[in-house]
């Protein structure tokens, strides 16, 4: 028997609220199965199981806020007697991954693969991709509600139009609902658990937007405190990459169309494989490179804030698969739910301003990662090309690196590798 | 329901931050409401599915306003 603890979804998370159990007592669960849904400052997340087992005990109730690291369920290991009465308790597993991991859960994709990629002859060895459809959206006259809040409202019989939302833009959050439910049968946490919870800082608890900002601040302050950052910048000619994209997209339907961000994600992943000191985790005083490349893709959230969930195994995916996974993740950040593996295991982060930003962005490394690549908005600029000054499309690429692990030489090699891949976009397919 | 209403419904569904009351038909909604490329693609995918009109990449500049997108859809349907 082992305790399944509230997982950490990153350096900035201290606690989360259980929304619902997806399993019942006696259920057999396998690796990657969804144990429960939690509400965090970064939205709702499906928590996955990392070890197969049988659910023996559920220790918290929906609506209860639980600190990271506190047991939320007990699971019997598969094959072990269900009673677990011999007292031989297995050491606690941390669901958040420890690098290096070569075998990882696949990111779900709401997009069907294009026909040529779904072709069994080329892809039959790939694990199946689990699809989580985004929750149905129920537009209300008064404004939006989080999926968890909608479900809870249905359970409680609360009319959402009577609830005042405290989220960004008046979005109704789970907490708003708990306050409005007059007859809340699901009692809050037992007193002991509540006492253990950190005392809420009044401002952050009352304002979800501020709570998110505080969470980001915790992670970034830790990063700046612990990581000796160094910064590099280079301007990359992406004219060829843009032309290649335009040609590709001419023949593609709207759903298969490629974005520059997809090329960039692939280029970063392949370069990270070439320069392994950029890809992995610095923990307990040492760096462990990761064999897998999971690119954390920074996504702006509605109402402010940013989250960088992982697109898994980008180095071994095709460009189309990377695009589909990226689109799916952006959609789920903004409208649905992320999975715990996506939140906990990026091995490197990419922050791309897309076409709505400014020229240059220097990222702050997200611990325990050791590098973050920044990409500014593509722009036209005069550049020497074939011995003449020409108007070219350029992107400023930056690297924030961790001096405990690498230095400017390796960083330069890494940025040059990204530029090389972008110069040969057909290699990124 | 007019094409413009249908298009507006899609816009609001994909980007709830859009405030219809502060948007004129000629407002560039991408700039005014920070609609990034991912959201923009989502909008156009919905237009393709629900209104049956695919917008090729070269025509993107024509469809960044409510009026532009609605008249583009109408013109394609008529043509």
Residues A30-48 as b or e (16 or more Cβ within 10 Å = b): eebbbbbbbbbbbbbbbbb
pLDDT of residue A181: 46
Helices (H), A292-382: 319-335, 340-344
pLDDT of residue A150: 64
* Chain B residues touching A300 at Cβ < 8 A: 34, 36
Q: How does residue A304 score in pLDDT terms, banded at 50, 70 and 90?
A: confident
Average pLDDT, integer, range A253-276: 97
pLDDT of residue A27: 94
Question: Among A23-37, A199-213, A320-334, A402-416, which range has the highest average pLDDT?
Answer: A402-416
pLDDT of residue A168: 57
Q: Which two tokens stand for residue A420?
A: 């090389």
pLDDT of residue A153: 67
- Identity of the residue in B13, B31, B45 whose CB atom sits nearest the CB atom of A254: B45
Residues A146-161 as b or e (16 or more Cβ within 10 Å = b): bbbbbbbbeebebebe
Distance CA A403, CA A280 (A): 14
For residues A426 and A248, the answer to whether their CB atoms sit within 8 Å is no
pLDDT of residue A161: 67
pLDDT of residue B28: 94
pLDDT of residue A224: 96
Average pLDDT, integer, range A50-69: 93
Average pLDDT, integer, range A34-59: 89
- pLDDT tens digit string along A139-194? 333 446 665 666 666 666 666 766 777 665 566 766 666 555 444 334 343 334 33
% of chain A with per-residue pLDDT over 70: 70
Nearest chain A residue (CA) to B34: A356
Average pLDDT, integer, range A302-320: 93
Q: How far is B78 from chain A (nearest CA, A)?
A: 20
Q: Examine the pLDDT at A222 and tell me if it is beyond 50.
A: yes
Q: How far is B29 from chain A (nearest CA, A)?
A: 12
Q: How does residue A291 score in pLDDT terms, banded at 50, 70 and 90?
A: very high
Q: Is pLDDT larger for residue A130 or for residue A198? A: A198
pLDDT of residue A44: 83
Q: Does B11 lie at the interface with A, CB-CB under 8 angstroms?
A: no
- pLDDT tens digit string along A388-404? 999 999 999 999 999 99
3-state secondary structure chain B: CCHHHHHHHHHHHHCCCCCHHHCCCCCEHHHHCCCCHHHHHHHHHHHHHHHCCCCCHHHHHHHCEHHHHHHHHHHHHHC
Q: How far is B18 from chain A (nearest CA, A)?
A: 10
Average pLDDT, integer, range A52-68: 94
For residues A9 and A344, the answer to whether their CB atoms sit within 8 Å is yes
Q: For residue A100, say if its preceding peptide bond is cis, omega within 30 degrees of 0.
A: yes
pLDDT of residue A88: 39
Interface test with A, best of B15, B16, B18, B53 (most A CBs within 10 A): B16
Q: Examine the pLDDT at A136 and tell me if it is beyond 50.
A: no
Q: How does residue A203 score in pLDDT terms, banded at 50, 70 and 90?
A: very low
Q: Does B54 lie at the interface with A, CB-CB under 8 angstroms?
A: yes
Q: How far is B16 from chain A (nearest CA, A)?
A: 8
- pLDDT tens digit string along B20-70? 888 899 999 998 888 999 999 999 999 999 999 999 999 999 999 999 999
Coil, helix or strand at residue A339: strand
Nearest chain A residue (CA) to B9: A139
Q: Examine the pLDDT at A428 and tell me if it is beyond 50.
A: yes
Cα B60–Cα B64–Cα B67 angle in degrees, nearest 5:
120
Q: Examine the pLDDT at A195 and tell me if it is beyond 50.
A: no
Q: Does B19 lie at the interface with A, CB-CB under 8 angstroms?
A: no
pLDDT of residue A53: 92
pLDDT of residue A43: 77
- Identity of the residue in B34, B35, B57 whose CB atom sits nearest the CB atom of A257: B57
pLDDT of residue A342: 86
Q: Do A300 and B54 touch (CB under 8 A)?
A: no
Which residue is associated with the tokens 């970064």? A42
């Amino acid at each position: 028997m082992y305790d399944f603890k509230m997982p950490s979804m990153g350096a900035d998370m201290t606690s989360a609220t259980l929304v619902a159990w997806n399993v019942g007592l006696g259920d057999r669960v396998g690796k990657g199965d969804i144990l429960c849904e939690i509400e965090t400052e970064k939205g709702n997340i499906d928590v996955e199981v990392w070890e197969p087992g049988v659910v023996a005990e559920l220790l918290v109730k929906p609506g209860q806020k639980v600190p990271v690291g506190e047991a939320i369920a007990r699971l019997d290991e598969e094959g072990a007697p269900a009673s677990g009465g011999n007292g031989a308790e297995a050491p606690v597993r941390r669901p958040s991954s420890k690098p290096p991991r070569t075998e990882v859960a696949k990111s779900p994709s709401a997009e069907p693969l294009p026909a040529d990629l779904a072709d069994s002859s080329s892809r039959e060895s790939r694990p199946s991709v689990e699809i989580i459809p985004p929750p149905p959206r129920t537009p209300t006259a008064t404004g939006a509600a989080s999926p968890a809040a909608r479900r809870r409202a249905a359970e409680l019989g609360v009319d959402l139009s009577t609830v005042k939302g405290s989220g960004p833009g008046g979005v109704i959050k789970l907490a708003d609902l708990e306050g409005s439910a007059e007859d809340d049968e699901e009692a809050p946490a037992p007193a002991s658990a509540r006492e253990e919870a950190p005392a809420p800082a009044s401002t952050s608890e009352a304002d979800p937007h501020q709570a998110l900002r505080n969470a980001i601040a915790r992670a970034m302050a830790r990063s700046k405190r612990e990581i000796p950052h160094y910064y590099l910048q280079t301007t990359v000619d992406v004219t060829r990459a843009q032309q290649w994209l335009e040609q590709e997209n001419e023949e593609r339907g709207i759903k298969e169309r490629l974005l520059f961000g997809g090329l960039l994600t692939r280029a970063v992943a392949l370069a990270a494989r070439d320069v392994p000191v950029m890809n992995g985790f610095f923990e307990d005083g040492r760096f462990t490179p990761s064999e897998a490349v999971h690119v954390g893709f920074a996504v702006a959230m509605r109402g402010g804030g940013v989250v960088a969930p992982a697109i898994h195994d980008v180095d071994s995916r095709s460009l189309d698969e990377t695009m589909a996974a990226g689109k799916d993740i952006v959609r789920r950040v903004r409208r649905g739910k992320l999975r715990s593996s996506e939140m906990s295991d990026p091995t490197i982060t990419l922050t791309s301003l897309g076409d709505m930003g400014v020229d240059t962005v220097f990222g702050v490394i997200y611990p325990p990662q050791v590098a973050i690549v920044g990409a500014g908005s593509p722009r036209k600029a005069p550049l020497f090309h074939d011995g003449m000054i020409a108007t070219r499309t350029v992107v400023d690429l930056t690297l924030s690196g961790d001096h405990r692990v690498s230095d400017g030489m390796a960083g330069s090699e890494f940025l040059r590798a990204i530029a090389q891949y972008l110069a040969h976009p057909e290699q990124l397919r | 329901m007019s094409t413009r209403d249908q298009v507006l419904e899609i816009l609001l569904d994909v980007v709830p931050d859009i405030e219809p009351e502060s948007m004129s038909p000629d407002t560039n909604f991408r700039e005014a409401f920070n609609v990034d490329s991912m959201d923009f693609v989502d909008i156009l995918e919905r237009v393709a599915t629900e209104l049956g009109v695919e917008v090729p990449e070269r025509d993107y500049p024509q469809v960044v306003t409510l009026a532009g997108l609605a008249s583009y859809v109408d013109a394609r349907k008529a043509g």
